[in-house]
Amino acid sequence: MRFEEAQRIKNLPPYLFARIEKVIAEKKEAGIDVISLGIGDPDIPTPQHIITELQKQALVPENHQYPSSVGMLSYRQAVADFYNRRFQVQLDPKSEVVALIGSKEGIAHISWCYLNPGDLVLVPDPGYPVYSGGAILAGAEPYYMPLTAARGFLPDFSAIPEDAARKAKMMFLNYPNNPTGAVADEKFYREAIAFAQKYEILICHDNAYSEVSFDGYSPLSFMQIPGAKEVGIEFSSVSKAYNMTGWRIGWAVGNAEVIEALGRFKSNIDSGQFQAVQYAAMAGLSGPQDAVTANNEIYRERRDIVVDGLNAMGWNLEKPKATFYIWAPVPKGFTSASFAEFVIDKAGVVITPGNGYGEQGEGYFRISITMPKERIVEALERMKKNIGQVEF
């Protein structure tokens, strides 16, 4: 018997990391100590007070039953309070906040709420693959907005053809940005809002890295910008801020109609997140923030080791102000894939080929600093010793 896959699954792009994963597996089998700077997933544990709250709440029988699919009101209130404290943004927890099973879940599902088959969605390239993946599964068509170094990895709205702008129903934006580490200022968000108003486009801003920043830089929320609530929503979660990627709890905030639609969609798909996990996320959002400060100091030190190390080999990189990624061009004569393979072969270090994030990522690679300092130091030493000086 053969099961014919649905067209929406067949439409998903091919998985580009298969080749590099095979090389990694071969190296490991050969007994080589591979250092992976590929995956962006915090290595530092979740702060103790958050774990303690989960332990306490796991013992409460009421928490063992089905939660509400849009989240407990107290959880949504904690998200609203966080936005008020952190960004001076007022949100109505009842109508402008919905809990998500990680922001990835909402990012994938929002396309199902607003895109019909054949609709266009504006997607950053390079970008987090879930934007296009969710849209393709909903039958829609991504229109890729190139993010180039020349423009600080911000899309150029004036370069979007008139007919594409008219056909577009939604746009994804993500600053601080994965994979480029770029940040956006208020002027950029104002341009995005004006564009969205002109063409009646729903903006979905992904702020997963709002709490991961350095050198005194404090990322904005899209919701701080006048008009944001009329045209859009913002996704985020406790994943990157409090080292809780495995806990699967996040939120969408903003435009009440859109939040309601997403909640209605979810009520047909899932039954929300375990209440004990919601309480734990509340402990993170409402509790002491010193773990965030400590994390950022750890990432800053690692970032400096990577950027200074690569620059000593011939790169000319600036230090990103936010995220735990370093986005860098490959040396002369390499593609993203051939350089990633070269680095694992010569140095036993895994980097992510940039083309995995979109066509515009070709010619780049991403290093994630979610590894202990000693391993990052060793990775850079091995690269220096076995690769040496590079040219562009």
For ligand PLP, the closer of residues 40 and 93 by Cβ is 40
> What is d(CA 262, CA 96) in angstroms, rounded to the nearest whole number?
11
294-297 long-range Cβ contacts below 8 angstroms, 24+ apart: 295/42, 295/44, 295/212, 295/243, 296/211, 296/212, 296/213, 296/214
Cα-Cα end-to-end distance for the chain: 53
Residues with Cβ < 8 Å from 389, sequence gap 6 or more?
313, 314
Quick one: which segment of 78-86, 233-241, 326-334, 358-366 binds ligand PLP (CB under 6 A)? 233-241
Q: Which residues of 205-225 are buried (b: 16+ CB within 10 A; e: fewer)?
A: bbbbbbbbbbeeeebbbbbeb
Residue 235 Cβ, how far from ligand PLP at the closest point, in Å? 7
Stretch that binds ligand PLP, among 141-149, 221-229, 232-240, 310-318 (CB under 6 A): 232-240
75 annotated ligand binder: no
Closer to ligand PLP at the Cβ: 77 or 180? Answer: 180
Taking CB under 6 A as the rule, which mask of x and - marks residues 92-131 in contact with ligand PLP? Answer: ----------xxx-----------------------x---
Q: What residues contact residue 20 under an 8 Å CB cut-off, 6+ apart?
A: 337, 340, 341, 344, 350, 353
Consult the annotation and say whether 66 binds a ligand: no
Shortest distance, position 391 Cβ to ligand PLP, whole Å: 31
209 annotated among ligand-binding-site residues: yes
Q: Smallest distance, Å, CB 243 to ligand PLP?
A: 11
Nearer to ligand PLP, 40 or 348 (CB): 40
- 368 by DSSP, 3-state: which? strand
Q: Is the N-terminal amide bond of 179 cis, ω within 30° of 0?
A: yes
Is 278 one of the binding residues for ligand PLP (CB under 6 A)?
no
Minimum distance from residue 250 beta carbon to ligand PLP (Å): 4
> In this chain, which of 96, 125, 206, 341 binds ligand PLP, going by CB under 6 A?
206
Alpha helices in 227-372 (DSSP H): 228-231, 256-267, 275-286, 290-312, 336-347
Among 155, 250, 309, 358, binds ligand PLP (CB under 6 A): 250
Q: Binding residue per annotation — 355?
A: no
* Type and span of the H or E element at 31: none
Task: Give the pair of three-digit tokens for residue 237.
Answer: 């979660």
Token match 């994943």: residue? 239
* Binding of ligand PLP by 178 (CB under 6 A): yes
CA 66 to chain centre: 28
Residue 239 engages ligand PLP in binding (rule: CB under 6 A)? yes
To ligand PLP, the closest distance from the beta carbon of 104 in angstroms equals: 3
53 versus 206: smaller Cβ distance to ligand PLP = 206
| Residue 366 annotated in ligand binding | yes
Both tokens of 336, joined, read 């993203």
The three-class DSSP label of residue 286 is helix
Per-residue contact flags (x/-) with ligand PLP for residues 306 to 335, judged by CB under 6 A:
------------------------------
Q: Backbone phi, then psi, for 352, in 5-degree steps?
A: -95, 125
Residues in contact with ligand PLP by CB under 6 A are 40, 102-104, 128, 174, 178, 206, 208, 237, 239-240, 245, 250
Annotated binding site for pyridoxal 5'-phosphate: 128, 178, 209, 237-239, 248
Annotated binding site for substrate: 15, 40, 128, 178, 366
